[in-house]
Amino acid sequence: MKPGSVFIDHTTSSPDLAEKIAEALAAKGVGSVDAPVSGGDIGAKNGQVVSMCGGLKEHFDRVEPLMMHYSKRVKLMGGPGKGQHTKMANQIMIANIMMGVSEAMIYSHKSGLDIADMIELLSGGAAASFALSNLAP
């Protein structure tokens, strides 16, 4: 990359790796923003991902307008690696939700419920979630 440019890393990796990437690029005069996303393939196809960013504010400010073209939310969470830490918090939350939705699908099937009706109904109440509305069907 050319000096003065900014690298956007949308992979999900370790915060330590994001810090190493930022250091290596800084040595070459290149900025870095670690920006893992949430929203899955559905969010990506619809340009509705959430980008969790780590890096220097000056680098983030340069790339935020670009990321807003394919993200419904973009936020700088702190220095290099903080985007990856935010993604980890996201994954911890999602794991619990996904386990609950999976168990509910199995229970509903075994109970003889109409799964589509159950999903539609519960998506309007306290059990509503991205996983229930978008992944369970």
For the whole model, what pTM was predicted? 0.84
Give strand pairing partners of 7. 32
Closest CA relative to residue 136, chosen from 113, 106, 112, 95? 106
Verify whether residue 87 is a known catalytic residue.
yes
Residue type, 94: I
Collapsing DSSP states into helix, strand and coil, what is residue 58? helix
Q: Are 54 and 18 in contact (CB under 8 A)?
A: yes
User: What's the mean pLDDT when you consider all of the chain?
Assistant: 95
Q: Are 34 and 61 in contact (CB under 8 A)?
A: no
Instruction: Report all structural domains of the chain as residue ranges with CATH numbers, in order of start.
Output: 6-84 (3.40.50.720), 89-135 (no CATH)
CB count, 10 Å around CB of 76?
Answer: 20
Give residue-wise pLDDT tens across range 36-91: 999 888 888 898 999 999 999 999 999 999 999 999 999 999 999 999 999 999 99
**Cβ within 8 Å of residue 97, ≥6 positions away:** 129, 131
Q: Which of 2, 20, 28, 87 is catalytic?
A: 87
Provide mean pLDDT across the span 8-15. Answer: 96
C-alpha 39/C-alpha 33 separation (Å) is: 19
Collapsing DSSP states into helix, strand and coil, what is residue 78? coil
Which pLDDT band holds residue 134 (cuts at 50, 70, 90)? confident
